[in-house]
A and B are shown apart, each in its own frame.
Chain A
Amino acid sequence: MARAFVRVLLLCVVATTAQTAGGRAANVTTGCVDRFDPAVDYFPDKLAIEDAVDVSVEYRQSYKVVTVSDATEGGPPERYVLAQCGTPAPQLTGDLAGAQVVTVPVTSFFAFSTTHLPLLADLDRMDVLTGVAQHDAVMDPKARARIKAGQVIEFARVGLVIDVERVVAAKPSLLMATGTSNATLSVIRQAGVPVVANSEWREPTALGRAEWLKYMALFLNEERRAQAVYGVMKRRYRSLSVRATARPVAEWPLVMTGRSTRGLFSIAGGRSYVAALIRDAGGRYVWADNASVGFASVDLEAQIQRAADADIWINGGGWKNLAAMTVDEPRYAAFKAYRQGQVWVYERRETATGANDYWSRSVTRPDLVLADLVKIFHPTLAPEHAFEWYMPVPAR
């Protein structure tokens, strides 16, 4: 009996020692550690970036080094040091000198773009949200609930110009912006509020964009959950894409994008995530050779020459019906896709006031976007999928 007791005691001691001596079970998702041991790895849950090209992370026991490229337009990559709360500030030398330090996990979070909110939603960590640019632009229900409860302030109400004083007065533990070239952001940084960039919108693939979920997770120490969520989504995406691209090339429809204003057609670039989605859904993009990573403007004439015979037209918008399209721009009739009524827009969930959750949700759910596109390009492949965002422009 006494020997059993001693064994249990020994087990407990070993277990406790194991905990305190280099082996942690999981990342600390709330609060700080109370004791620092330089031998301990405080981030046993790590994540790996697979598809995103503009972000990478390196783990160093008590802090993480995150590198974001394209933080400023054409500028050098930015490095952020994410130090575990409760551990001493790391010595920053060499190319880490002067890097932005963020204490993780963050407790209060200011999101400049509404595209940052689904990242919180998918990690189920909307509780850290304390600031948004504009209340009215937020559509996520959990975020709206927090706004209604008065827990979220708005800090860029007029024309998306950041109210510096409000931000500095609220002292959030992190402000995430779409880029850091804005001069106001440097002022905020100097006032002690950490500012980081989120350049997911520059990713050339839809999966890459979605993977920025992991970027958000880094600040919350939620690596485990992020890996899980992303992994599930990615598997869905890949399996569907494989089935779609397995179709014979002759069945792949020719696809065009965009809309025309005053003789200028704005299209998705050939190296943009839209082009990647089209390819992954088993479609041929008319501008696949275009070099732009974002959007591009082409003369209407060029678009007609390229896309007059396209089968499917996606990602235009703002049209009441097909007839109304040619009232504005009669030359739309030159496109076969128009004449055959194959004009698809992502306005299915658009509300009367013009708000559309495609902009926020589609970023982290490219599998759903892909499913919509596969259903358009190869209707027989996804009979059970109901359109999430895409709908055809009605005839009248």
Chain B
Amino acid sequence: MTKREALTLAGLVALVCAVFLLSLALGSTAIPLRRVVMALLGTPSDGTAALVVTTIRLPRSVTAMLAGASLGIAGLQMQTLFRNPLADPFALGISSGASLGVALVVLGSGYGAAAAFDSATGIRGDALITAAAIVGAALVLGLVLIVSSRIANPTTVLILGLMFGYAVSAVVTVLVGASQPERLAQWAQWGFGSFSGVTWQRLQLFGPLTFFGVLIAAATTKQLNALLLGESYARSMGLAVRRARLLTMLGASVLGAVVTAFCGPISFLGIAVPHVCRGLLSTSDHRVLVPAVVLMGSAGALVAQIVSLLPGGAGVLPLNAVTSLMGAPVVVAVLLRSRRGAFAG
């Protein structure tokens, strides 16, 4: 690693720390910094400040970091694997599959099934929505993987994922059209995406899933580097290409599915973060890019979280909208700066 790269990574670490602390100090209500620090240190105090900081802001920020890191690294994996600058963690229909699961539970016909499920298993409300999202995403992912196992060309797999995604989205649209307006509000709220819904309890599941998911993804760094030269060369250098491709697709998609299930659909982080890191570090070497996207993803998610609270007491900006509004101009800026075009291949 060159000195410049090491310095940049160190800078990213500092950025993440700073934004993390900022996200704890800011919220929809004003809490003096002194009280925030007291709450973090665990010193007893009266009033609700400590409660707000420890049960609302802290888990939300931790969730944001985990989600951002997951989406960043999953996006990088997909872009390298498919040699496509527009690939993201949801390229294999993950987002549509999760939406289908949630739509079935929240809207229309599934509503009765959800009630029955609840009385049978006691899983209801948010936990049910999360489970439904995972099941939906897994189904679509499984379908895409089975069909594409016969296909050698990665671009074809990408297109397959896209087509499955469209088909599933169409089903979701039909469900939306046939549903009662009251339920639509709940459905729409899920669609906005949110880090606030993951409490400490749910972090007990979300945390390990994403943490180990990111570690496992990081372990594919060597394989991703080999794939930079194309599949033929990668194979000749010793990479078991088909297996690596399958495991990478699976790993990235699972990360995307987990984040979507717990936080709703979060767009754009998965696409933008790898591009920003590539532009910032001027390298394609994954040994440098992987830690970079993890850090940049965390920071990006935290910033999006902070921005979404801008309206203050008047409400909350949908997280999804903020990530898109932030991400799009940044990617454009990076591409224009590099001048040479988007991407290899």
Are these two chains actual partners, yes or no? yes
Contact pick for A264, options B55, B115, B196, CB 8 Å: B196
Q: Nearest A residue to B178 by beta-carbon distance?
A: A159
CA A262 – CA B316 in complex, angstroms?
12
The answer to whether B51 has its CB under 8 Å from any CB of chain A is yes
CB proximity of A155 to chain B, nearest CB, Å = 16
- B27 at interface, CB cutoff 8 A: yes
Set of chain B residues within 8 Å of A300, measured between Cβ atoms: 56, 196
A299 neighbours in B (Cβ, 8 Å): 27-29, 196, 309, 315-316
The answer to whether A18 has its CB under 8 Å from any CB of chain B is: no
A141 proximal to B (CB < 8 A): no
Distance in angstroms between the alpha carbons of A158 and B313 in the assembled complex: 37
| B286 within 8 Å of A (CB atoms) | no
Known: A159-B178, A160-B180. A328 touches B126 (CB 8 A): yes
- A329 and B56 alpha carbons, distance in the complex (Å): 11
B55, B181, B190: the one within 8 Å of A334 (CB):
B55
Expressed in whole angstroms, the Cα–Cα distance for A107 and B343 within the complex equals: 71
Tell me how many residue pairs across A and B have CB atoms closer than 8 Å: 85
Of residues 145 to 161 in A, which have CB atoms within 8 Å of B's CB atoms? 158-161
B316 closest partner in A (C-beta): A299
From B197-205, B211-219, B234-242, give the one contacting chain A: B197-205
Number of residues from A at the complex interface, CB < 8 A? 28
Q: How many angstroms between the C-alpha atoms of A301 and B201 in the bound complex? A: 18
Across the two chains, which residue of chain B brings its CB closest to A354? Answer: B115
Instruction: Give, as a whole number of angstroms, the nearest-CB distance from A339 to chain B.
Output: 13
Residues from chain A with a CB closer than 8 A to the CB of B126 are 261-262, 328-329
Tell me if A308 and B48 are in contact (CB < 8 A). Answer: yes
B316 and A264 contacting across the interface, CB-CB below 8 Å: yes
Give which listed residue, A160, A304, A330, A354, contacts B181 with CB less than 8 A: A160
In the complex, which residues of chain B have a beta carbon less than 8 angstroms from the beta carbon of A329?
Answer: 126, 199
Q: A316-361: which have CB < 8 Å to B?
A: 318, 320, 324, 327-331, 334, 354
Complex formed: what's the CA distance from A160 to B179 in Å? 8
Interface residues of A, dominant DSSP: mixed
Residues of A within 8 A of B281 (CB): none
A296 to B313, CA, bound (A): 11
A71-B186 Cα distance, complex, nearest whole Å: 25
B159 within 8 A of A: no
CB of B124 within 8 A of chain A? Answer: yes
A330 surroundings in chain B (CB, below 8 A): 55, 199-201
State the CA gap A324–B199 with chains docked (Å): 15
Chain A residues 271 to 315 lying within 8 A of chain B, measured CB to CB, are 296-302, 304-305, 308
Residues of chain A within 8 A of B199, CB atoms compared: 329-331
Interface members, chain B 176-192 (any A CB < 8 Å): 177-181, 186, 189-190
Instruction: Please indicate the chain B residues that have their CB under 8 angstroms from the CB of A354 in the complex.
Output: 115
CB distance A301 to B315 under 8 Å?
no
Chain B residue at smallest Cβ distance from A299: B28
- The answer to whether the Cβ of B60 comes within 8 Å of any Cβ in the partner chain is yes
CB distance from B129 to the nearest CB of A (A): 9
Report, nearest first, the 9 A-B pairs whose CB atoms are least far apart.
A263-B196, A262-B197, A299-B28, A328-B125, A159-B178, A305-B29, A308-B48, A302-B28, A262-B194
**Can you list 30 A-B pairs with a CB-CB distance of less than 8 A?**
A160-B181, A261-B186, A262-B189, A262-B264, A264-B196, A264-B316, A296-B315, A297-B315, A297-B316, A298-B315, A299-B29, A299-B309, A299-B315, A300-B56, A301-B27, A301-B29, A301-B52, A302-B313, A304-B51, A304-B52, A304-B56, A318-B125, A324-B124, A328-B125, A328-B126, A329-B126, A330-B200, A330-B201, A334-B51, A334-B55
With A302-B313, A330-B201 already in contact, 13 other A-B pairs whose C-beta atoms are closer than 8 Å: A159-B177, A159-B179, A160-B180, A261-B186, A263-B60, A263-B197, A299-B27, A301-B29, A302-B28, A308-B51, A318-B125, A320-B124, A328-B125
